[in-house]
Chains A and B, each alone.
Chain A
Amino acid sequence: MSLIIHKVGILDTIQHFGMRGLQSKGIRPGGVMDQFSASIANALVGNKLNEDLLEIHFPACEITFNKSCIIALVGAHFSAKLNEKYLPLNRPILIPTNGKLQFIAPKSGRIVYLAIQGGLIGQGRLIKNSEIAFKKMPKLNSSSLHIFPWSADVDWQKYSPEIHVIQGREWERLNEESQRKFCCKPFKLSHHADRMGYRLEHEPFKTRTKEEIISSAVNFGTIQLLPNGQTIVLMADHQTTGGYPRIAHVISADLPKLAQKSPGEEVVFHLTDQETAEKEWAAQQKHIRQIQNISQLKLDEFFQKNSNQL
């Protein structure tokens, strides 16, 4: 009893929330690209917030559920379809036994998370014709699709181009003109973008010095200045250390928004400080926990009412 993967998308994975404690050996933490959407997806189905789930990019996988279960889709809008019916984002959905899920076309965003109540067993890339087992066997048996009548507020995803950054150790290497450009000019995301990093398109930045730096740690969100004056934002599968100047770092609260940007979309960087970054993060986490609490109550209520029908 499991999910069956009929078709795989090239970047689709069962994703965790970061493997910690091994960076001293050069082993990256990895984990979900958009922690906000992934946490909300888990909250909607009543999971712990950091339960493993499917991270789906476009072109996306095709899945058959051979057991009825509750899922939620949060993040990118890929026109998800179950059998012949389009599925909404940001709601719990009861999938009928033998329901077939497809993603038809990318409408907005870049990554959608599929959380399954109880979680999944496995990790890494999805494999064609493989099965993924449920961690906890759902006790449901529904022959029809049911979309729950409540949804999560995901306003935090606001698809605005504003991304807040903190100055990096080598910020001062940019000359004044480049510093000004970095802070207010819109940059397009390049097509060179994957789970390791997103490159930006702009006129080359100019530096006060070309002196090499000694390699040291980098972070999810670190913006490195390449020797040709171009920049790359390191994403979830970033390396642990690097030797390119670190001109800035995207704040954690804005990483989900950045992760959801597609090639050609614009970003505008704004400088902020640690205090603001902490406040933004705390507010975002509070919002997620509120959704988690409300979802749990509503799910419990629903199951009490419908226990004899499911």
Chain B
Amino acid sequence: MISENLKGYDIYPLGDSAITIEFGKHINPETNDLVIARFNQFQENPLNGVLDLIPSYHSLTVCYDLNYVTKQKMGLHSLIDQVKSRLDEPIKLQANSSKLHEIPVVYGGKNGSDLLRVSQEKGIDLHEIIRLHAEPTYRVYMLGFIPGFAYLGELDAKLTMPRKSSPQPMIPGSIGIAGLQTGIYPSFSPGGWNIIGHTDYPLLTNGIPILQAGDRVKFIPQNQL
């Protein structure tokens, strides 16, 4: 396995057609700022053979054309060398987008069907769960999984829940929690997060996501339980 951990990053293969550069081990705004800055750097001046870039909380994945890579003398090593010399270039962290989305949420009920279970498993009453979830101003760390799914962090550690053992069908607007993350399903999809509420806030226009990495989100509870 190719692995480098000399310069504050770690490169590992994601199958034979992508590599992931990991910039840290935890979810924090500093690491994510670096991911977004490196994503912009690779995006503005693309490397030959690169097909797609996938920024996440703490990593940037570079998807490449295997036809291009197999024609290089050193195969993937040639591409990794180019990626590394890019990463050696100093990078300026860009100022965060200050865009704030205030998202109304109906907690619990039919479209927040896991709220009760979360409450029971955590031994925290429903009001306190809603308060803990709605209190922070979250950062949009990344978009991924399906078009426009925004991963928001950080969730209060008191609400940490494992993902469900098997994905369930989700409806648009479902607000879920998993680990230290919270997020909103923008469309029908299978999903493994614990659904505690629902919003009608528009998340896609003509298929293009409204929320962008770096934006901020505040949940506004709409109901009394």
Chain A residues packing against B (C-beta within 8 Å): 20-29, 166-169, 196, 210, 212, 214-222, 226-228, 230, 239-244, 246, 249-252, 274-275, 277-279, 281-282, 285
Contacts and interface: CB of A to CB of B under 8 A. Distances in A.
Given A217-B20, A240-B145, A281 B163 contact: no
B222 to A, nearest CB: 26
Contacts of B76: 274, 278
Interface in B189-213: 190, 192, 207-209, 213
B5 interface: no
A185 B17 CA distance: 26
A219 B16 CA distance: 9
Interface in B147-182: 147-149, 151, 160, 162-166, 178-181
Given A216-B56, A274-B75, A252 B146 contact: no
* Chain A at the B interface: SS class: loop
10 contacts: A23-B144, A25-B148, A26-B147, A28-B146, A215-B144, A216-B56, A217-B54, A241-B145, A244-B163, A249-B15
Residue among A210, A215, A251 facing the most chain B CB atoms (10 A cut-off): A215
Contact of A24 (B53, B58, B75): B53
Contact of A278 (B66, B163, B192): B66
A167 B59 contact: no
B225 interface: no
B15 A221 contact: yes
Given A29-B52, A216-B56, A252-B66, A210 B18 contact: no
A24 B54 contact: yes
B67 interface: yes
A107 B178 CA distance: 43
B58 to A, nearest CB: 6
A226 B190 CA distance: 13
B13 A243 contact: no
Which of the listed residues A210, A216, A222, A281 has the most CB atoms from chain B within 10 Å of its own CB?
Answer: A216
Contacts of B163: 212, 227, 243-244
B194 to A, nearest CB: 12
Given A212-B163, A215-B151, A285-B67, A241 B54 contact: yes
B15 A166 contact: yes
A246 B14 contact: yes
Contacts of B12: 169
Interface in B1-36: 1-2, 12-18, 20, 22, 26-27
